[in-house]
């Protein structure tokens, strides 16, 4: 069968930035599983995978609006250093988890001052054009439970404690 809405696809991917530098690579670990049509993966990758069969590969260039969105300048903020109390020493380039109104999210440390820290809460891949090499490992119909949950189950997918 072909990858389509409401199917579960298991796939390998290699992600490079616009210059060709490799950022992520699943080929030396486990493939990912995604429920197609449920927003599990970025739109540009999902669109590239529709219609592919097992064993097929695809190379796709994904602009920010089909990927992790544009960078939002308002997500660059200066916050009191005491906010980070208790963690490891802060250094520029570090990613740390912080509590926000939207729950825990990763932020990148930009600059560490005496009493304040400049942070960037944009997704690290926001604003970037991304190159994906994709390889389809498995395609199957989603189960009723997966459709209800909005994600794939099993290896490479969502692992429930009760499963
Ligand atoms: Zn589930």
State in Å: Cα 11 to ligand 1 middle. 19
Tell me how far the alpha carbon of residue 89 lies from the centroid of ligand 1, in angstroms. Answer: 37
Query: pLDDT class for 160, splitting at 50, 70, 90?
Result: confident
152: CA distance to ligand 1 center in Å? 7
Please list, in sequence order, all residues whose beta carbon lies within 8 angstroms of the beta carbon of residue 89, skipping any fewer than 6 positions away. none
Q: How many CB atoms are closer than 10 A to CB 122? A: 19
What topology is assigned to 73-120 in CATH? Thrombin, subunit H (2.40.10)
130 CA from centroid of ligand 1 (Å): 29
Domain 7-68+126-149, CATH: 3.10.50.40
**Letter string b/e over residues 82-104, b meaning 16 or more CB atoms within 10 A of that residue's CB:** eebeeeeeeeeeeeeeeeeeeee
What beta strand segments (E) does 38-146 contain?
57-62, 76-80, 95-100, 103-112, 116-120, 130-141
DSSP code of 143?
P
Name the strands in the sheet holding 76-80, side by side, starting at the edge strand that comes first in the sequence: 76-80, 116-120, 103-112, 95-100
What would the pLDDT profile of 76-111 be if each residue is shown by its tens digit?
999 998 888 776 789 999 988 887 777 778 899 999
Domain edges within the chain: 7-68+126-149, 73-120
| Residue 144 host element (H or E) | helix 144-149
Report which of 54, 60, 25 is spatially closest to residue 130, judged by C-alpha positions. Answer: 60
Both tokens assigned to 69: 């969105």
Give the DSSP letter of residue 65: G
154 Cα to the center of ligand 1, angstroms: 9
Ligand 1 centre distance from Cα of residue 149 (Å): 5
pLDDT band, very low/low/confident/very high, at 163 (cuts 50, 70, 90): very low
Q: What is the pTM of this model?
A: 0.81
Query: 6 CA distance to ligand 1 centroid (A)?
Result: 14
> In which region does residue 50 sit, left (phi positive, over 0), alpha (psi from -120 to 50) or beta (all else)?
beta
CA of 66 to the centre of ligand 1 (A): 25
Report the separation in Å between the CA atom of 127 and the middle of ligand 1, taken as the mean of its atom positions. 30
């Amino acid at each position: 069968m072909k990858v389509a809405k409401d199917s579960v696809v298991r796939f390998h991917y290699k992600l490079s930035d616009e210059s060709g530098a490799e950022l992520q690579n699943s080929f030396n670990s486990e493939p990912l599983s995604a429920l197609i049509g449920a927003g599990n993966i970025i739109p540009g990758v999902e669109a590239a995978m529709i219609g592919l069969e097992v064993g097929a590969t695809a190379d796709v260039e994904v602009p920010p609006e089909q990927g992790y969105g544009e960078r939002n300048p308002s997500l660059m903020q200066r916050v009191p250093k005491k906010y980070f109390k208790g963690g490891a020493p802060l250094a520029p380039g570090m990613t740390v988890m912080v509590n926000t109104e939207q729950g825990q999210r990763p932020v990148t440390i930009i600059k560490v001052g005496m009493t304040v820290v400049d942070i960037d809460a944009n997704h690290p891949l926001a604003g970037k054009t991304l190159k994906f090499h994709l390889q389809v490992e498995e395609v199957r119909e989603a189960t009723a439970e997966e459709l209800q949950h909005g994600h794939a189950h099993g290896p490479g997918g969502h692992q429930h404690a009760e499963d």
